[in-house]
Structure 1
């Protein structure tokens, strides 16, 4: 990618980045929730495409995917709507496609996406289409992982906990060293800690450990199902903790 992208502009502000996930096609992710995300300071909408085999996701996100698929949905119409809205809305929020290798690349090609993170081989196809490539760096990375991460031009999601997505009681103590290893490997893209971050305090701890921001998925899904007030207050508290 050449030039300055929306992800570049977010990183240049020097403010911790808040990325929040939601499954496209889930009826809970309506326009009112979209507006709450913007109003409460979400920098990146991670727009999840449902998969029949979400092997890295725990019960909250996998359950949301199952609801969409069970209702006969696929999420592609919704990602087109949300990405178009983000592209024209005065908000600085970015839209990043999150998917597994069963992504139908043809159905997202040409959408005004600001990035894509695809688990599996489909990532190369969407990169060719001109979308900045984000990627997942394991908690215990090796030389090949770091070499791959240096090639990404979106952001690097640091896997902050082993296993599947879902809240943990505490952050993994290895997170700070994982972030430091990425810095030593000359990875210059923003490092966002995800997997297991479920409280405002944990979000702050991840930034204090060296992350440029955080990705929160399961707790967003969980709080949305509790009601609009719950997700609004949760996001507000996380944003305040990051900015403290």
Structure 2
């Protein structure tokens, strides 16, 4: 079994040293004004978000569904730039660990080393490139290592066993196991038994925490998946509410998911 690398200690420990799975909440940068965004981050943190995932807007987020794609386009239409994203990360980091979600297009545009360095300076704990090309993996891994950032890795469910070892070796912070074979926003049934088998495969080759997202659309489903993972990430339901201007609905959603991940006898939220 692989051990987490030293740079992953902060992020990995944030997930390991808990009584129940962490809740990660995704927020695309630039969806609203900076003032509204800060109020939203306050709400998400207060209602139980243990980790904030900040998304960097791109024009063609190939792994995302219509809700997050529209949110990214809205951010771009608002003129969101990397300095804006850095300010979002900085404020979010004052609330807790931040993992930045990005596409390779962004890393290529700004340069992997610059992107990693500036996100680290803003307070990010890690950066996950959702579509990291195999040919660019060594370049990206070197950039995040030099910046002392964690590099969580999305592991496709169809990854063959012989491919898991090199993929997981390059990761740090956590391994991301999609709950569904779909783009973000999927609301159909999830094969929990198949997800359980996949998480076991990941744990057989790595000591990194495992988190799951994509298709975890309700608190009830999150509760079923909780025993399998170290963290659950939600995005589309919250983004849909925020995009419609309904921050109260987003607040209720986050609170409900947070409660679903806690043991029935535990009324507290880990800090």
Same fold (TM over 0.5): yes
Question: What are the Cα deviations for residues 42-92 of structure 1, in whole angstroms up to 9, with x where unaligned?
Answer: 111111111122100000111111111223323x223322332344x3x4x
How do 1:14-163 residues align onto structure 2 when only pairs under 5 Å count?
14-27=19-32, 30-74=37-81, 76-87=82-93, 89=94, 91=95, 93-103=96-106, 104=110, 105=112, 106-110=114-118, 111=121, 112-118=123-129, 119-120=131-132, 121=136, 123-124=140-141, 125-142=143-160, 143-163=162-182
CA–CA distance in 1 between the matches of 2:92 and 2:41? 10
Distance 1:27 1:190 in 2: 32
Structure 1 residue runs of 5 or longer lacking an equivalent are: none
Q: Which has the higher contact order (CA 8 A, sep 6+)?
A: 2
User: Which residue of the partner structure matches residue 216 of structure 1?
Assistant: 234
Q: Pick closer, same or farther for the CA change 1:126–1:151 going to 2, 3 Å.
A: closer
Moved over 3 A (4+): none
Q: CA RMSD in A?
A: 2.0
Q: How many residues align?
A: 238
Once the two structures are overlaid, the 10-residue window that deviates more, 7-16 or 36-45, is 7-16
Q: Which has the higher helix share?
A: 2
Q: Decide whether the 8 Å contact of 2:66 with 2:185 is kept in 1.
A: yes
CA contact (8 A) 1:7 1:114 kept: no
Greater shift in the superposed pair: 234-243 or 219-228: 219-228
Distance 2:50 2:12 in 1: 9
- Alpha carbons 1:166, 1:219 under 8 Å: kept: yes
Question: What pairs with 1:162-241 in structure 2 (closer than 5 Å)?
Answer: 162-173=181-192, 174-185=194-205, 187-208=206-227, 210-226=228-244, 227-241=246-260
TM-score by structure 2 length? 0.81
Q: Aligned-pair distance for 1:147?
A: 2.6
Q: How many angstroms does 1:6 deviate by?
A: 4.3
Matched, 1:9 2:18: no
